Amino acid sequence: LEKQGEMLCSSHQLAGLLHLNPAQVRKDLAYFGEFGKRGVGYAIPKLREQIIKILGLKQIRPVGLIGAGGRLGQALALYRGFEKRNFRVVALFDKDPFILRQSPMGLGKIHPVEELPRIAKELGIEMVILTVPAEAAFDVYEIIQLSTVKAILNFAPVQLPSTDEIVVHNVDLTMKLESLSYYLNCSSLPESLSEDDFSED
Amino acid sequence: LEKQGEMLCSSHQLAGLLHLNPAQVRKDLAYFGEFGKRGVGYAIPKLREQIIKILGLKQIRPVGLIGAGGRLGQALALYRGFEKRNFRVVALFDKDPFILRQSPMGLGKIHPVEELPRIAKELGIEMVILTVPAEAAFDVYEIIQLSTVKAILNFAPVQLPSTDEIVVHNVDLTMKLESLSYYLNCSSLPESLSEDDFSED
DNA sequence: GCCTGTGAATTAGTTCACAGCA
DNA sequence: TGCTGTGAACTAATTCACAGGC
């Protein structure tokens, strides 16, 4: 909206864009403070500013990327979209000695994961993206726990637990597909989950 | 569990693995049928079979990938993890003429998106992964609506709406980072969201 | 005795509806 | 009059607690 030169918006308008109920929008925002003016609406630049503050993104957040040698890791390391929203991938890590010797072109130096604690401390990294294979995930998780990192965006298809120290968001892409598959299956199912053999022992 | 040779599991055990409450596990499963034996637990192979049936994954589901030229698209096109869970990327699409002329190595032929309706029909594709840039997302969405596709896993940083015809799961990676940033910010905030200037006009 | 399936109780989340301010 | 902020009403989700089968 700001890019479109709008200066004001109502909860109704936001609700439309977000596919939500206007009351929901108001309540959620009100939880953090009083950002609107009664009878008027929300001043867009101020609202944006407030949301940035709430999200802790007033200054650029340095992010580490572990598993930079894999294809997903490379894709995310080179993704331009993070910068626009105040994130910057400032350090790449991997375990594979081959990758460490010669980093894929376009990427800068890749460090061994063992150096994560030192480098994270130096660069103020509190957040990492994890794109390692399932087998490596728990080992890397251990190393992360020894570092200044307090948040993980995990793409490895294993459920890493959040603790008091570390928040984890697990993004299992296959599970997303499964979820969609379920919806497809439902709409094409008239009434039959027990249609074929289901004999007790 | 099946891979570990286990034959039985309890809701308690599953709950532990999934970080849920045992009652939750039982209720969720019971919603779809009676898969367990009282006093015993769930027979793992049968349970697995049932879940596969619920998810509509008894046979391999063919998936299309739109935006195969981009780095994320390539990464997902080559990702081995989908196959293990009964998905197969059977057709790649893009708009970029350069990509169409010479597909990145390792990938097979890439088709122009305009051919999606025809090819989707031929191959029975009902699901696509969308890894196009934000600008292209809505145009592509229009084309998808003309095809047999009924489910979209969208990585473009725009909120595509679900309809009665099409289910959309939007995966905005930057938003995931923002969410983590919020948690970091909370834990480092003693009591101050209105700490600096917030003057009314 | 152990563990599922499930109604009842509880807790959480959403929407309504209106007071209060521009 | 228009729109926010918010208690109250409502709806949904989770957890409890126990009947019933192994």
| Per-residue pLDDT tens over the stretch B140-190 | 999 999 999 999 999 999 989 888 899 999 999 999 999 999 999 988 876
- Predicted confidence at residue B67, as pLDDT, reads 97
| Positive/negative CA dihedral, B48, B50, B56, B58 | positive
- Res. A103 pLDDT band, cuts 50 70 90: confident
Q: What's the CA gap between A175 and B57, in Å, rounded?
A: 12
Backbone angles phi, psi at A93, to 5 degrees: -135, 155
Asked if strand D comes closer than 7 Å to B19 Cβ, the answer is: no
Q: What's the CA gap between B74 and B95, in Å, rounded?
A: 14
Nearest nucleotide from residue A21 CA, by C1' atom: C15
User: In the predicted model, is pLDDT for residue A194 greater than 60?
Assistant: no
- Res. B197 pLDDT band, cuts 50 70 90: very low
pLDDT digits (tens, 9 = 90+) for A19-39: 999 999 999 999 999 999 999
User: In the predicted model, is pLDDT for residue B75 greater than 90?
Assistant: yes
Phi-psi region of A102 (alpha: psi -120 to 50; beta: other; left: phi over 0): beta
Q: What is the pTM of this model?
A: 0.90
Q: Are the beta carbons of B177 and A87 separated by less than 8 Å?
A: yes
Asked if strand D comes closer than 7 Å to B27 Cβ, the answer is: yes
pLDDT digits (tens, 9 = 90+) for B23-49: 999 999 999 999 999 999 999 999 999
Q: Is B127 on the interface with A (CB under 8 A)?
A: yes
Choose among B75, B151, B182: nearest Cβ to A71. Answer: B75
Lowest mean pLDDT, pick from A25-34, A97-106, A152-161: A97-106
Q: What's the CA gap between A19 and A9, in Å, rounded?
A: 15
What burial class does residue A142 get, using C-beta atoms within 10 Å of its C-beta: 0-12 exposed, 13-18 middle, 19+ buried?
exposed
Q: B86, B161, B163, B145: which is closest to A182 by C-alpha?
A: B86
Contact B76, B66 (CB under 8 A): no
- Predicted confidence at residue A190, as pLDDT, reads 61
pLDDT digits (tens, 9 = 90+) for A50-59: 999 999 999 9
**How many helices (H) and strands (E) would you count in chain B?**
9, 9
Bases of chain D with protein Cβ within 7 A: 1-7, 14-17, 19-22
Contact A56, A127 (CB under 8 A): no
Q: What's the CA gap between A50 and A168, in Å, rounded?
A: 25
Q: Are the beta carbons of B178 and A55 separated by less than 8 Å?
A: yes
A residues 76..115 contacting B (CB < 8 A): 76, 78-79, 81-82, 84-85, 87
* DSSP calls for A6-54: --EE-HHHHHHHHTS-HHHHHHHHHHH---EETTTEEEHHHHHHHHHHH
Q: Are the beta carbons of A177 and B150 separated by less than 8 Å?
A: no
Q: B96, B54, B98, B92: which is closest to B73 by C-alpha?
A: B92
Place of tokens 């598959």: A181
pLDDT digits (tens, 9 = 90+) for A162-192: 888 999 999 999 999 999 999 999 888 765 4
Length of chain A: 201
Contact A131, A155 (CB under 8 A): yes
